[in-house]
Amino acid sequence: MSKDAEENRIRLEKRLENLEKRVSRLETTRAPQPRKSTTKLTSIREFLRSKSAGSDIDKTLAVGYFLETEKEISPFTTEDLRSGFLQARESVPQNLNDTVNKNIKKGYMMEAGEEKGGRKAWTLTNLGERFVNGNLQGRSQPNP
Protein backbone atom coordinates (compact mmCIF):
# COMPACT_ATOMS: atom_id res chain seq x y z
CA MET A 1 0.00 0.00 0.00
CA SER A 2 1.30 3.46 -0.83
CA LYS A 3 1.98 6.08 1.77
CA ASP A 4 -0.95 8.30 0.51
CA ALA A 5 -3.37 5.41 0.64
CA GLU A 6 -2.29 4.55 4.19
CA GLU A 7 -2.74 8.17 5.32
CA ASN A 8 -6.21 8.28 3.76
CA ARG A 9 -7.16 5.04 5.52
CA ILE A 10 -6.00 6.38 8.90
CA ARG A 11 -7.78 9.69 8.34
CA LEU A 12 -11.01 7.89 7.39
CA GLU A 13 -10.78 5.58 10.44
CA LYS A 14 -10.39 8.60 12.77
CA ARG A 15 -13.28 10.40 11.07
CA LEU A 16 -15.46 7.30 11.36
CA GLU A 17 -14.52 6.92 15.03
CA ASN A 18 -15.44 10.58 15.73
CA LEU A 19 -18.77 10.20 13.92
CA GLU A 20 -19.61 7.06 15.91
CA LYS A 21 -18.89 8.93 19.17
CA ARG A 22 -21.14 11.82 18.13
CA VAL A 23 -23.96 9.50 17.15
CA SER A 24 -23.60 7.61 20.41
CA ARG A 25 -23.82 10.86 22.41
CA LEU A 26 -26.88 11.98 20.47
CA GLU A 27 -28.61 8.66 21.03
CA THR A 28 -28.02 8.73 24.79
CA THR A 29 -28.95 12.39 25.33
CA ARG A 30 -31.94 12.55 23.01
CA ALA A 31 -35.26 12.64 24.84
CA PRO A 32 -37.61 9.81 23.96
CA GLN A 33 -40.35 10.81 21.55
CA PRO A 34 -43.89 10.61 22.91
CA ARG A 35 -45.97 7.85 21.41
CA LYS A 36 -48.78 8.87 19.18
CA SER A 37 -52.14 8.44 20.77
CA THR A 38 -54.07 5.48 19.49
CA THR A 39 -57.29 6.73 21.02
CA LYS A 40 -60.02 6.82 18.43
CA LEU A 41 -62.17 9.86 18.06
CA THR A 42 -65.76 9.79 19.24
CA SER A 43 -68.40 10.53 16.65
CA ILE A 44 -71.02 13.13 17.41
CA ARG A 45 -73.66 10.39 17.26
CA GLU A 46 -71.84 8.32 19.90
CA PHE A 47 -71.36 11.42 22.02
CA LEU A 48 -75.07 12.28 22.01
CA ARG A 49 -75.96 8.72 22.94
CA SER A 50 -73.47 8.74 25.81
CA LYS A 51 -75.08 11.90 27.21
CA SER A 52 -78.64 10.55 26.95
CA ALA A 53 -79.81 13.88 25.61
CA GLY A 54 -83.59 13.59 25.38
CA SER A 55 -85.02 17.02 24.63
CA ASP A 56 -84.13 19.22 21.68
CA ILE A 57 -82.78 21.78 24.17
CA ASP A 58 -80.39 19.25 25.72
CA LYS A 59 -79.38 17.91 22.31
CA THR A 60 -78.61 21.43 21.10
CA LEU A 61 -76.45 22.02 24.17
CA ALA A 62 -74.65 18.70 23.69
CA VAL A 63 -74.04 19.38 19.99
CA GLY A 64 -72.62 22.82 20.90
CA TYR A 65 -70.36 21.21 23.50
CA PHE A 66 -69.16 18.63 20.96
CA LEU A 67 -68.45 21.34 18.39
CA GLU A 68 -66.38 23.30 20.90
CA THR A 69 -64.47 20.44 22.52
CA GLU A 70 -64.04 17.84 19.78
CA LYS A 71 -64.23 19.88 16.58
CA GLU A 72 -62.69 23.05 18.08
CA ILE A 73 -65.42 25.18 16.50
CA SER A 74 -65.97 28.14 18.78
CA PRO A 75 -67.99 30.22 18.56
CA PHE A 76 -70.62 28.27 16.65
CA THR A 77 -73.61 29.34 14.58
CA THR A 78 -77.00 27.80 13.92
CA GLU A 79 -75.53 26.41 10.70
CA ASP A 80 -72.77 24.69 12.70
CA LEU A 81 -75.42 23.26 15.03
CA ARG A 82 -77.58 22.14 12.10
CA SER A 83 -74.57 20.40 10.56
CA GLY A 84 -73.86 18.69 13.90
CA PHE A 85 -77.42 17.38 14.11
CA LEU A 86 -77.22 16.05 10.55
CA GLN A 87 -73.85 14.36 11.20
CA ALA A 88 -75.37 12.70 14.26
CA ARG A 89 -78.33 11.57 12.14
CA GLU A 90 -80.67 13.41 14.48
CA SER A 91 -83.65 15.45 13.37
CA VAL A 92 -82.87 19.14 13.47
CA PRO A 93 -85.20 21.05 15.83
CA GLN A 94 -87.79 23.05 13.90
CA ASN A 95 -86.73 26.27 15.61
CA LEU A 96 -83.02 25.93 16.36
CA ASN A 97 -82.79 29.56 17.46
CA ASP A 98 -85.45 28.89 20.08
CA THR A 99 -83.50 25.94 21.54
CA VAL A 100 -80.39 28.15 21.70
CA ASN A 101 -82.36 30.92 23.42
CA LYS A 102 -83.73 28.45 25.98
CA ASN A 103 -80.16 27.33 26.74
CA ILE A 104 -79.18 30.98 27.13
CA LYS A 105 -82.03 31.50 29.62
CA LYS A 106 -80.77 28.51 31.62
CA GLY A 107 -77.28 30.00 31.63
CA TYR A 108 -75.75 27.21 29.53
CA MET A 109 -74.93 29.26 26.44
CA MET A 110 -74.17 32.88 25.76
CA GLU A 111 -73.85 35.05 22.72
CA ALA A 112 -70.28 35.30 21.51
CA GLY A 113 -68.76 38.74 21.40
CA GLU A 114 -68.20 38.41 17.68
CA GLU A 115 -70.16 37.33 14.66
CA LYS A 116 -69.01 34.41 12.58
CA GLY A 117 -69.39 34.77 8.85
CA GLY A 118 -71.82 37.64 9.34
CA ARG A 119 -74.08 35.48 11.54
CA LYS A 120 -74.85 35.56 15.23
CA ALA A 121 -72.67 33.07 17.11
CA TRP A 122 -72.70 31.46 20.55
CA THR A 123 -70.45 29.70 22.98
CA LEU A 124 -71.05 27.52 26.03
CA THR A 125 -70.72 28.93 29.52
CA ASN A 126 -68.84 27.16 32.31
CA LEU A 127 -72.20 26.14 33.75
CA GLY A 128 -73.20 24.65 30.41
CA GLU A 129 -69.96 22.69 30.17
CA ARG A 130 -70.41 21.33 33.69
CA PHE A 131 -74.01 20.36 32.93
CA VAL A 132 -72.96 18.40 29.82
CA ASN A 133 -70.07 16.79 31.71
CA GLY A 134 -72.62 15.70 34.33
CA ASN A 135 -74.49 13.88 31.55
CA LEU A 136 -77.18 16.55 31.37
CA GLN A 137 -78.33 15.79 34.88
CA GLY A 138 -78.39 17.82 38.06
CA ARG A 139 -79.32 21.38 38.72
CA SER A 140 -80.54 23.25 35.68
CA GLN A 141 -79.99 26.63 37.32
CA PRO A 142 -77.00 27.95 39.28
CA ASN A 143 -77.29 28.19 43.05
CA PRO A 144 -78.73 31.53 44.22
- Reported as a pLDDT band with limits 50, 70 and 90, residue 24 is confident
For the chain, give every domain's residue range: 44-133
- Which pTM value belongs to this model? 0.68
Q: CA quadruple 97, 80, 51, 112: dihedral positive or negative? A: negative
User: What is the C-alpha to C-alpha distance for residues 120 and 79, in angstroms, rounded to an integer?
Assistant: 10
Structure confidence by residue, pLDDT tens digits, 94-112: 999 999 999 999 999 999 9
Report, in angstroms and rounded to the nearest whole number, the Rg of the chain calculated over CA atoms: 29
CATH number of the domain at 44-133, out of 3.40.50.150, 3.30.465.10, 1.10.10.10, 1.20.272.10? 1.10.10.10
- How many CA atoms within 13 Å lie on the side-chain side of 90? 28
